[in-house]
Structure 1
Amino acid sequence: MSDHARQITRNASVVAGATLLSRVLGFARDLIVAFALGAGPLADAFFVAFRLPNLLRRLFAEGSLTMAFVPVFTRMRQTEGDRAAFVLARSIQVWLLIILGAIVLAAMVFAEPITLLVAPGFSRSPELLATTTTLVRICFPYILFISAVALCMGVLNAMDHFLAPALAPCMLNIVLIVAALTAVGMGLSVPHALSWGVLVAGVAQWTVQQPFLRQKGFSWWGQVGLLDTGVKRIGRLMGPSVLGSAVYQINILLGTVLASFLPLGSISYLYYADRLVQFPLGIFGVAIGTAALPSLSGLAGRKDWKGFGSGLSSALNLTLFISLPAAAGLGGLAEPIVELLFERGAFTGPDVVQTALALQAYALGLPAFSCVRSLVAAFYALEDTRTPVWIAMVCLCLNISLGLILMQFYDHVGLAAATSLSSWANVVLLVRYLGRKQELDRLRPSSALGKMLVLSGCVLAGTMLTAGHAVMAFALIPVWVAGFIGVAIWWSVPEVSLLLGVLRRKKQEPPA
């Protein structure tokens, strides 16, 4: 394995570990917020208010900004040095403050019509509308801080530091947990406390990264160049990437629209199943894609196309090595997993069965969902943001078309299957158009891909055989993991050697 592959794997392991902690804290946050807030009109008010800055975060901050910023920042460091790259980062921060500051001010003034746009049904309750409008005004400035957090993440990732940015989301979960418990303990308004908690969490996520930026020699005080070439380049790259994020959000919205024509409960089945498949996707797929972007950007900047192809191939093969057995286990144990997590209160046995079927359909696409992140990172590293966007639009049309057909026969399960199939089409198209880049070496599938598929098939068969006995099914999970890794070592699967080698080195390294 190349040094580039080891670097991506090492960084991905850091991001995955921090993301796992964040997801566990997020699950605890959901439980505590549900306990403190319930599911009534005040809960609806808070979730609507929080959804608005979250939508802007997904469109402008974490994905779009980071993906556009890292390649340009990395190349500027290589060609002009840290000082010029730091000027670029400060300039982008000023633009964020100007653009998003104007959006926040507009949201403060027009909070009520914005609320009605998102939740028109609230017009029937003036009191609920007034409460939600107040919460929107409290929550909305969060977009300023979380965009600054995304910029900090881009700087640190480009300078080969991944731990602090990956841990930053933990602050949101911790602050909201404290806010909910404090409100309950002191008899305060829970939705108002949570809304202020969102704002505090944004400041906390930004603050936690500042010591690490200073260690890298970066300061927010200094020269800026608002119209520099690098700034304009990032602006050009962000346009298509924002459109790509919008396509993803439209995909989710249209899926919900189609599900609304199915029997009652279909939207909920898809929601809960998607939440479960997002857990391994967020930990592994996103982690590897996040780690791959700076490495691939550096290789593209040096025009090391052989290393670029090797690094991307290694990232994709590592993703498949992890996601294939994860998909098999998730599909095989779908029903006991849903039963353990959700079957209580109004969530009954038939709901478990229907949600599990949707989870199995989503599990088919888990390897594709995971690979897309690294493939899109490769295009961004090459400063090509248009190709992934038009491919995403093609796959959006395919998803809707397949969904309309399959829902006629399989209801909500057909919609989940359409999402998985269109994601595999996304992978195929991204790989094909990467292969047309004349400067790149051909992507090489792992020599052990067949072995991975066989081992994952064994995991699927074993988990399905034990799925009817919940206690046994969960008790055997460590056995399936150990067996998969053990046989992979015996079969000399290179990806497991890469992972174990990175873990051994991390244990041997002295603490920082």
Structure 2
Amino acid sequence: MAGGLYRSANAMPEGVPPPPDGATLISATPAIEGTNPPPEPGGNAAGNSAMMAAFSLISRGTGFLRQLMIVATLGLSLVGNAYTTAQIIPGMVYEFLLGGILSSVLIPVLVRRRKADPDGGQAYTQRLLSLAVLILGGAALLAVLGASVLTTIYAGRQGQDYRELVTNLSRLLLPILFFSGVSALLTAVLNTRGHFAAPAWAPILNNVVVIATCGLYIAIFGAKTVQPEEMGLGRVLVLGGGTLLGLVVQTAGMLPALRKVGFRWRWRFDFRALGLRELGRLGGWMFCYVAVNSFGLIVLFNLLNEVKDKSAGPLVYNNVFLLLMMAHGIIAVSIITALLPRMSAAAADGRYADIAADLSRGTRTVTAALAPIAVCYAVLADPIAKALFDYGAAQGGSGTTGPVLLVAALALIPFAVSQLFTFAFWAMPDTRMPALINVPVVAVRVLVQVIVFAAFSTSFLAAGMMIGNAVSYIAAAAISAWFLRPHIGQIGVAAIMRTFGRVLIAAVGATLVGLLVVALLPGEAASNRWLAFVEVAVGGAVIGGTYLGLAMLLRIREITDLVTMVRRRLGR
């Protein structure tokens, strides 16, 4: 139900309280005579999340620097929009083929086979990887051959030069779907074996390669805005080839970790032993889920590509969505990454009360931790846009980003909570209900976005798309919670609502203080990038400090536990 550009699986900051039972992520598989038992997963959910957080902070930081370099290289122009559109095409083809199925079906199945098979699921995983590599390789080849058709689907009614640029970039970027799929499968293999480090730091390699690519592009061609018809073969090769190379390096970076966890690669073609009927039954619903999401994204990008002036288009929308995902990834995605194997194991054992307890604590923790970030995004939207996106080829164009970020702040917490609840279904594993829920959710999103497109000018278009996202995330969270209850019982709604109420009071207080401090700061941040940095730093510190103080006064447990842990580690 994400409705955005990219999926991510990184981490959460240290300090999230451990699950109530303190259990490890995956139950140890007992040794069987004549076999090598799989290695013990390392640590509990909080420990794994804390370790991942260190890598995630670097990964998210370099990932955002990567996006800033793309903006500086291409500007907030039609070329930047074309590059963004070309990037979404392999991402959506991958999601259509494997991405959603991996999250919802394969990880829970791998957990079950690891516990049940005498070899710890080694042969099963080898068969699965062999089949996936063949499917992904064939799909990548067909996608490259059909790049012009895919451009027609996503690029809207822009001119011929724009569409040709998208097609040329897509031919270089579409092989990314193969490496994205292999990388995601390797991540699943490592996570189900209790190894979270390599998948957390491998994206850093990708980011570094793309940053270097942008630096090379600027060194050769300069940082200036050009039109689509000016993007010759050399520019396209540097930009598209460097982006593809980043995914290749990221995938290769995880291979040594496979040997560390005891997994050995070998081709296996006895695919019947995979239980393809079960995978097909579960994956069929997931295919419906992804198909509905794909429809929503096709509508979104066709609307965004209607922008022909200096209004916010696909690149601005993507910049803001990545800001949203940076906060979501550091705080929420790690909870999902750590809890999915745990909830899958609980579901396999019939311990549905444990799933409910994890969901309740996860929801409260995500809400309490993301609230001050949402306030900062809303109060400091304009200076953040000025500080981050006003340089190089994009200089002078940051004014279109602020309104989009303001609306995105309202979508941050609903997005994270809706994702958490969706993954709970997948852990059981139940792909039917999320697919059915996704139909009205995407329908609401598309309806709101089309209404915004029809009622407002293109200057409000990207912000309006975010409004559609926010409304659909709220609907997704509410409907998912309602249909989860018969499966796992009470999830502690009263405790969740108490936390929500206290978080809301603390967030409103932080907002008011933040607005006051920003109003009292001298100068006009919208016209000076250095003043914008000062406003972001001072305003962010005041908002964060006010929220923390109010959270302590209101006894928001998820925050007080974090403060207590930090004080303990500092020796106080």
Would the TM-score normalized by the shorter structure come out above 0.5? yes
Q: What's 1:330 paired with? A: 377
Q: How big is each residue's C-alpha offset from its partner over 1:169-200, in whole Å with a ceiling of 9 and x where there is no partner? A: 22211112233434665789343134333343
Q: 1:483 to 1:10 in 2, by over 3 A?
A: farther
Matching residue of 2:503: 452
Provide Cα deviations, 1:206-234, integer angstroms capped at 9, x if missing partner: 22222222222111127664112544433
Match of 1:26 among 56, 63, 69: 63
Question: Counterparts of 1:318-467 in structure 2 under 5 Å?
Answer: 318-343=365-390, 352=399, 355-405=401-451, 408=455, 412=461, 413-437=463-487, 439-444=488-493, 445-446=495-496, 447-467=498-518
Q: Which moved more, 1:360-369 or 1:376-385?
A: 360-369
Partners of 1:335 and 1:467 within 8 A in 2:
no
Unaligned runs of 5+ in 1: none
Q: What per-residue deviation string (whole Å, max 9, x for no partner) do you get for residues 408-464 of structure 1?
A: 379545543332122111111000000121x54434434544322221121111222
CA distance in structure 1 between the aligned counterparts of 2:22 and 2:295, rounded to whole angstroms: 35
Quote the offset at 1:235 in angstroms: 3.5
Which residue in 2 is equivalent to 1:191?
236
Q: What does the per-residue CA deviation read over 1:271-303, in whole Å, with 9 as the maximum and x for residues that have no partner?
A: 554343333123223222222211111111121
Task: Report what 2:21 is aligned to.
Answer: 3
Q: Which amino acid aligns with 1:442?
A: I
Correspondence list, 1:293-304, <5 A: 293-304=340-351
2:137 corresponds in structure 1 to 101
Is structure 2 residue 559 aligned with structure 1 residue 496? yes
Give, in whole Å, the separation in 1 of the partners of 2:535 and 2:170: 47
Give the gaps of 5 or more residues in structure 2: 1-18, 25-43, 222-232, 522-531
Among 538, 543, 546, the alignment partner of 1:475 is 538
Q: What's 1:179 paired with?
A: 213
Distance verdict in 2 for CA 1:236–1:4, change over 3 Å: farther
* Paired residues of 1:43 and 1:191 also in contact (CA < 8 A): no
CA displacement at 1:101 relative to structure 2: 2.0
Q: Indicate the RMSD between aligned Cα atoms, in angstroms.
A: 3.7
Specify whether residues 251 and 12 from structure 1 end up closer, same or farther in structure 2 by C-alpha distance, changes over 3 A only: farther
Mean Cα displacement is larger for which, 142-151 or 52-61? 52-61
> 2: distance between equivalents of 1:256 and 1:222?
39
- Code of the residue aligned with 2:142 in structure 1: it is A
- Name the aligned partner's letter for residue 424 of structure 1: I
**1:221 maps to amino acid:** R
Q: How far apart, in 2, do the equivalents of 1:448 and 1:26 lie?
A: 32
Pick the aligned partner of 2:355 from 292, 297, 308. 308
AA aligned to 2:252 is T
Instruction: State how far apart, in whole Å, the 2-side matches of 1:195 and 1:502 are.
Output: 45
* Count of aligned pairs between the two proteins: 502
SS at match of 1:2: coil
Residues in 1 aligned to 2:277 and 2:570: alpha-carbon distance in whole angstroms? 43
Rounded to whole Å, the distance in 1 between the matches of 2:346 and 2:384 is: 41
Q: Distance in 1 between matches of 2:84 and 2:140?
A: 18
Q: Is the 8 A contact 2:84 2:318 kept in 1?
A: no
Q: 2:288 is matched with which residue?
A: 243
Residue type at the aligned position of 2:443:
C
Structure 1 residues 11 and 43 mapped into 2: Cα distance closer, same or farther (>3 Å)? same
Alpha-carbon distance in structure 1 between the residues aligned to 2:142 and 2:430: 33
- Which residue is equivalent to 1:142? 176
Distance 1:291 1:155 in 2: 14
Which deviates more from structure 2 when the two are superposed, residues 445-454 or residues 213-222? 445-454
- Mapped to 1, the partners of 2:441 and 2:468 lie a distance apart of 10
| Contact 1:9-1:315 within 8 A present in 2 as well | no
List aligned pairs for 1:64-213, cutoff 5 A: 64-81=101-118, 83-111=119-147, 114=150, 124=160, 129=164, 136-182=170-216, 189-213=234-258
Structure that is richer in helix per residue: 1
Residue 51 (structure 1) shift: 3.9
Cα distance in 2, alignment partners of residues 255 and 135 from structure 1: 20
- 1:216 and 1:89 map into 2 onto residues whose CA distance is 13
Structure 2 CA distance for aligned equivalents of residues 125 and 487 of structure 1: 54
In 2, Cα distance between equivalents of 1:276 and 1:257: 22
Cα distance change on mapping 1:424 and 1:147 into 2, 3 Å: same
Partner SS, residue 364 of structure 1: helix
Q: In structure 2, how many angstroms separate the alpha carbons of the residues matched to 1:404 and 1:40? A: 23
Given that 2:155 and 2:305 are in contact with CA atoms closer than 8 Å, whether structure 1 keeps it comes out as: no
Amino acid at match of 1:463: G
Please give the per-residue CA displacement for 1:281-326, whole angstroms capped at 9, x wherever unaligned: 2322322222221111111112112211111111111111112222
Amino acid at match of 2:517: T
Distance 2:158 2:305 in 1: 20
Question: CA 1:325/1:28 → structure 2, altered by over 3 Å: closer, same or farther?
Answer: closer
Return closer, same or farther for 1:215/1:201 CA change in 2, 3 Å cut-off: same
Q: Which one-letter code corresponds to 1:161 in the other structure?
A: H
1:323 to 1:108, Cα distance in 2 relative to 1, 3 A: closer
Secondary structure in 2 aligned to 1:467? helix
Distance 1:428 1:186, change over 3 A: closer
Report deviation, 1:84.
4.9
Q: Identity, % of aligned pairs?
A: 25
- 1:484 matched residue in structure 2: 547
User: Hey, what's the Cα distance between the residues in 2 that align with 1:13 and 1:276?
Assistant: 21
Residues 496 and 5 (structure 1 numbering): CA distance in 2 closer, same or farther, change over 3 Å?
farther
Distance 1:17 1:387, change over 3 A: farther
Match of 1:53 in 2: 90
In the aligned structure 2, how far is the partner of 1:259 from the partner of 1:115?
14
Contact 1:391 1:429 in 2 (8 A): yes
Counterpart position of 1:279:
326
CA pair 441-77 structure 1, distance change in 2 beyond 3 A: farther
Distance 1:51 1:183 in 2: 21
